Amino acid sequence: MAVSKDLVIGLAGLGTVGSGLVQLLKNNAAEIEQRTGKKIFVKYVAVRNIDVKREIPKEAQLINDPLLMAEDPEVQVIVELIGGTTLAGTLIKKALENGKSVVTANKALLAEKGEELFALAEEKNLFLAYEASVAGAIPVVQTIKDSLAGNKIETIFGILNGTSNYILSEMSSHGTEFDEALKMAQKLGFAEADPTLDIDGFDAAHKLKLLIRLAWGVHYPYEKLSVQGIRNISAMDIAFARSLGYSIKLLGQAGRTHDEIEAAVSPVLIPSSAMLARVDGAFNAIHINGNAVGSLFLHGLGAGSLPTASAVLGDIMSLMKDIYDSTGYVMQKLPLASMAKPEDSVSSWYLRLMVHDTVGVLRDIAGIFAKHSISIAQVIQKKKQENGVPLVFMTHETTVEAMKNALQEIEATKILNCKPVAFRVLELL
């Protein structure tokens, strides 16, 4: 993409990230020009209400229709920071159709509708840059796409949502129950008024889908991902896990074996000594294994005004130097991933069952496990509580299907006082 001395951009959205970008463009103007040999000129800033007083670049014009900037021939790059999948999708499509490259932080749009937009960018020989869409300030897109291009990526797993990680950290550090920790996260601005995307795992799933695309050059449909959030985690589970030497984290995980990709977002138990277990608060961390580099660990702020704006600005500057491509693969349309069946996935398990205080309960449960070829590694019985006696099991490796069938049979016996809690165990270094 040939650019003039000044790169002319249109900025859609002046929320948390957009305001941070405006601040960086002002404060880091000299560094930007030193690294690129060019200046960035903001012609438009699109907001919902132009009557609200805002701090914008002195050369910029406030508008309330972002599609106008996609029609202006002087604008070379559209920076989309409005979020959502409707107006944002229309804006990006129109910008690409009109010959403008795009920088976005919109993981939901790219995860759910990205194939069409990536293909359009390739067709038009334009850039669709999205570093800020995955893990905020952590440069994971650039790392996988370029720095690790000479590797076969074997596995990717990590903490991809700062809100959920903050909640679990509060529950772990202070024994706080989920509802109280969520309210604290909302009060501090880590969680939205409607936290569904974060706590139910969908935000992490959006990011995991993009990481799969980068790592293996395949299209893994977002709707095919197995997703479980953190709503049913209690302080009791966190305490039991700690007593067994584990921490509970919400992880996005993907790996390729024999050309099949296994992927999921779910709470898992990981050893308390593992690096990921020590990632607390609103931070993100990603663990990548490649056949040449071995194990890499990336850690940093996963959200926030300036950290995310830093990733956006990095993409803009890459476009200024003509060194960005969307995925790192030469084919325009990536093939559909060969997806492993979730029910065939194998792991050890943590189970907590609240049972009636009657004779023979443990015998009956052990019998059901044996029927489904599930081997028990450890069992702990705790003191009776209001809703029953907690029985905690750690199992040896078994399939998701075997565990699901065993739990269904246990529930059918009516020996439980409430729904069972089951989390996979991931043995990490």
Enzyme catalytic residues = 207
Distance CA 153, CA 133 (A): 20
* DSSP assignment of 246-268: EEEEEEEEEEEETTEEEEEEEEE
Of residues 422, 90, 24, the one with CA closest to residue 240: 422
Asked if 158 and 251 touch (Cβ cutoff 8 Å), the reply is: yes
Query: Which of the 8 DSSP states describes residue 428?
Result: -
Both structure tokens of 274: 């593992």
Of residues 360, 354, 361, 364, the one with CA closest to residue 417: 354
Query: Which residues, in sequence order, are bridge partners of residue 264?
Result: 226, 253
What residues have CB less than 8 Å from 15, skipping those under 6 apart? 81, 82, 83
Q: What is each CA distance from 416 to 270, 375, 376, in whole angstroms?
A: 26, 20, 19
What residues have CB less than 8 Å from 372, skipping those under 6 apart? 398, 402, 403, 405, 406, 409
Both structure tokens of 365: 């449960």
Distance CA 340, CA 399 (A): 13
Q: What is the residue type of 244?
A: L
Query: Which of the 8 DSSP states describes residue 57?
Result: -
Q: What is each CA distance from 427 to 164, 247, 349, in whole angstroms?
A: 21, 11, 11
Distance CA 284, CA 156 (A): 13
Question: Residue 33 belongs to what H/E stretch?
Answer: helix 29-36
Q: Tokens 């974060």 correspond to what residue?
A: 198
